[in-house]
Amino acid sequence: MKNFNYHQSTKIRFGKGRINELGEIILGYGKKVLLVTTPAAIPALQTQYDKVIKIITDKGIEVAHYDGVIPNPTIDTITKGAKMSRDFGADVIVGLGGGSSMDAAKAISVEATHDGISWDYLFYKTPQPDPSKLIPVIAISTTSGTGSQVTQVAVITNLAARDKSALYNNILYPQVCIVDPELMISVPKFVTSTTGFDVLCHAFESTINPGTGAYVDLLAWEAISIVVDYLPKLLEDLSDIDAREKMAYADLLAGLCIANAGVTLPHGMGMAIGGMYPHVAHGESLAIVYPAFAKFTWEAAIPQFAKLSRNLNPDLQKVSEREAAAKSQEEIVIFLQKLGLNYKLKDVKVPESEIEALAKQCMVLPDYKGNPRVATYEEMVALVKESY
């Protein structure tokens, strides 16, 4: 068995109704809270925000609500939130929402307590944030997709540079996370689909990353099995609370996986797409590149691709491992069709003239280097073209 490491410092509170414990949790860290969310674009979100604020204030805790987070949160998004945090004197930050809100909460904790801006503290820069200065973060997931509630990552976008990168440091794990499926009932179909596919991607890529190990494998394949079984069902009935709970659990498992193993080629490509074309959702970008990734990679990781194919199509248990692995691209496309996500870069209005520029950007983050088959620049261009 391969040696492995595993680290997790976030206290996890999982299950229906756990949001009601938020006030007591906050009191363990302070009495002035910055609540970080997206704007309430639909009435259901405003109802959710009002409920959470009441849970907090009922414990005598002061709340300042920063609702300026956008998908693919930008440098300016973080700076505005950090200013509100400093002006308010927040001693706790609660990130409520999908990955954008939770990532923003982590980045705001850094910028509000350090010189410069969040972009100055990306994973490859020095100095890194001082853990003694950070404001504690409580992450509350309202989608089943990013796993940010249990990771040390905060993804941000630099619009001027057309770049999407991340703060990555073990001191950025949230102190506590709440995963309450009842908060996810109002999530619309497209978000449910794209974030749900992201769960599968996190889990699978963690099985082929060099940092994987027996424990990550155990969690990852459980997450993949749940997504395959429950995401299509959930898309047929968005109010299915049991399916929501299963997907929330899969998201949690996959988040634990990537926090310890990491992602590979598709996430490097997906981050590049999101950085250059912020209107493209992260899970959407992954769906676009996954068939090309499978075709490019399967021969370098036959056991894992065979197992993925057999999860997607149990009939492939009857064929050889190599034959099952070779079918992975086909099975991924069929699954994407079930999710309503089977389309290309041209469908999300990526200019064909920027294929080579996008390929170059796909090689900025180191994720592609963790792939079992590492792409050259020429191969990356071919991957982008195939995804076009």
What is the pLDDT, as a whole number, of residue 328?
Answer: 98
Other beta carbons less than 10 A from residue 294's beta carbon: 24
- Domain 189-387 carries which CATH code? 1.20.1090.10
Q: Which of 262, 258, 202, 264 is CA-nearest to residue 227?
A: 202
What is the pLDDT, as a whole number, of residue 183?
Answer: 97
- Ordered DSSP codes for 93-116: EEEEESHHHHHHHHHHHHHTTSSS
What is the pLDDT, as a whole number, of residue 93?
Answer: 98
Domain boundaries along the sequence of the chain: 11-184, 189-387
- Domain 11-184 carries which CATH code? 3.40.50.1970
Q: Which of 154, 136, 150 is CA-nearest to residue 6?
A: 150
**Tens place of pLDDT per residue across the chain (388 aa):** 888 889 999 999 999 999 999 999 999 999 999 999 999 988 989 999 999 999 999 999 999 999 999 999 999 999 999 999 999 999 999 999 999 999 999 999 999 999 999 999 999 999 999 999 999 999 999 999 899 999 999 999 999 999 999 999 999 999 999 999 999 999 999 999 999 999 999 999 999 999 999 999 999 999 999 999 999 999 999 999 999 999 999 999 999 999 999 999 999 999 999 999 999 999 999 999 999 999 999 999 999 999 999 999 999 999 999 999 999 999 999 999 999 999 999 999 999 999 999 999 999 999 999 999 999 999 999 999 999 9
What is the pLDDT, as a whole number, of residue 352?
Answer: 97
Q: What share of the chain is helix, strand, coil (3-state, %, to 5)?
A: 60, 10, 30
Identify whether the C-beta of residue 140 lies closer than 8 Å to the C-beta of residue 251: no
Identify whether the C-beta of residue 99 lies closer than 8 Å to the C-beta of residue 194: no
Identify whether the C-beta of residue 158 lies closer than 8 Å to the C-beta of residue 75: yes
What is the pLDDT, as a whole number, of residue 244?
Answer: 98
Q: Which of 295, 297, 181 is CA-nearest to residue 230?
A: 181
What is the pLDDT, as a whole number, of residue 1?
Answer: 82
Bridge partners for 32 per DSSP: 62
